[in-house]
Amino acid sequence: MFKRTTLVFANLVFPFLIGCATAASTDAEVKSPVAEAPKLYNETFNPRQKEYPNHLGFNDLHIQAIRHIVPDTDSVHDPKLQIIVHHHCKAYDDGTLICLMFPTGMKDQDKPIGFEYIITAEQYNTLPEEEKKYWHYHKSEIPRAKASLPDLTGDEAAKLIPAINETYGKVMYFQKLGDKFPLGEPHVLIVQDMPEQD
């Protein structure tokens, strides 16, 4: 009797469950294609954004630093020395980083005004002597620039700082702070020649 009851119950419930599952999957299939997320990017100028959602990639590391804007005076109190420049960096497999530099951040409508190219000490040692003057050693510049890693915890930053210390950076600007467009020639900022501050 128990077996017969179980069999009858199974025969009644199983088709019901199959029907529910089919209805649910049909509902999902109907709703899914219709409810597309709004497009965030201009498909004309950014045709591969869907295929390569992280193609820019400058979110690997965020560094904030002062003493990265050319001051108007030789004074150590020049306010431009205190402007925080946000470095949004992409790390490459060869040990280099390229950081887009923003005076405001990297929100939707913020535009970079330059970039910093970062290389390892070993790569720096292969440069011609004449080229080395354009590069700054991060172990001495990080304290002077009051550099910080705002998106990392204290423990995460403590693990990363020793590695960053042993790198060299070259800062190149293609736009002056305050200009609406890039005007004139790009220039290399020799960070170690910036006025010293307390």
Domain map of the chain by residue range? 61-193
pTM: 0.71
For 79-118, what is each residue's pLDDT tens digit?
Answer: 999 999 999 988 888 889 999 999 988 777 889 999 999 9
Percent over 70 (pLDDT), the chain: 70
Residue 132 pLDDT greater than 60, yes or no:
yes
Tokens 């950081």 appear where?
A: 99
**Which residues touch 167 (CB under 8 Å, ≥6 apart)?**
97, 118, 119, 120, 121, 138
